Amino acid sequence: MPKKDNTHTPVRGNINTRRGASLQSPPQDISPLLVDATLNTYCSPKLENQVFLDELRALREEMRATRLQMTNLTTAIANLTQRMDECDLRVDKLTARVDIVERRLDQNPCDNYTNKEVLASIEQLKAEINDKDQDLLLNDLEISCVPEQKVESVQHIIVTLAGKLGVKLEDQDIVSANRVGRTPISSDGAEAPRPRLIVVRLARRTVRNQLLQAARVRRGATTEGTDLPTPPRRFYVNERLTQVNRQLFQRAREVAKRLNWRFVWTRDGRIYVRRGAFADSPRQRLHTMADITRVFGPDAVRSSEFGN
């Protein structure tokens, strides 16, 4: 019941009879673009959080892939180190056998027949030692004729030259890379134009084979387009050989060139020669210097020694 009589109070106009109507729908005179902008402003923190979460997930996946790659690299290096230790052990055993045979030879110098057998055994053992030493270099390459600077990053040079050959090489694929030998000095005190060799050891043999194959396909590649000093120079990628095999390979090339043999090459540290590309000219492998006489003939080798 009313406290007093208010029947004479005038009635107000434009009364909103729906509760909460102003909250349910915007006024008609407000632009829809303004409403959309207001909603986007309200939702932008949620969108930023979603983008941030997506970036975190992508970073986590990248870190997981990097961790897996580092694990594979560590495993490859560990396997390589184990193989090197095993080869070192076998080389030590063969060296001990050679020492025993040489001591026996010194103790019995008068027995010619025994001496021949001992000498043959020594040569065989030396060949086995050389093969084991070559196995340790199966992941190595030699890159020659690359311009040398006083301050340089050899690893960066390897990656750049690999890209020049069309092979994508990562830093983790390289175990070691350095120049070998002394800097050659000419007679007048200036540096010689031929730079030192670059020796690189790769973590995987497949990458090493890819570089060799790319170098054969892109024969004649130069340092043009790299950060190396100008003018551009042609560089060469070859297998790394032991000192014995290097001398044997050089000798075989000299004799083959004189006798017009067409092919002298190396594969996995082994040296091969072939007279021509015909079926009646099979390839032959050279193990020692004696094989050069056997393959090319004593007269040809003798005449090449005297330069006739």
264 pLDDT band, cuts 50/70/90, is very high
Distance CA 56, CA 266 (A): 50
Count CA within 13 A, CB hemisphere, residue 237.
26
Q: In this predicted model, what pLDDT tens digit does every residue of 69-101 receive, in sequence order? A: 888 888 888 888 888 888 878 888 888 887 877
Q: Cα separation of 266 and 249, whole Å?
A: 8
pLDDT in the model for residue 7: 59
The share of the chain scoring above pLDDT 70, in percent, equals: 76
Q: Does the domain at residues 140-239 carry the CATH identifier 2.60.120.470? A: no
Residue 23 pLDDT greater than 50, yes or no: no
Residue 16: per-residue pLDDT: 54
User: Which position has the higher pLDDT, 33 or 208?
Assistant: 208
N- to C-terminal Cα separation, the chain: 142
Residue 129: count of CB within 10 angstroms of its CB: 20
pLDDT reported for residue 280: 77
Q: Which amino acid, residue 85?
A: D
Q: What pLDDT is stored for residue 22 in this prediction?
A: 47
- Give the span between the Cα atoms of 272 and 50, in whole angstroms: 63
Q: Does pLDDT of 104 surpass 50?
A: yes
**What pLDDT shows up at residue 21?**
46
**Poorest-pLDDT segment among 24-38, 174-188, 231-245, 282-296:** 24-38
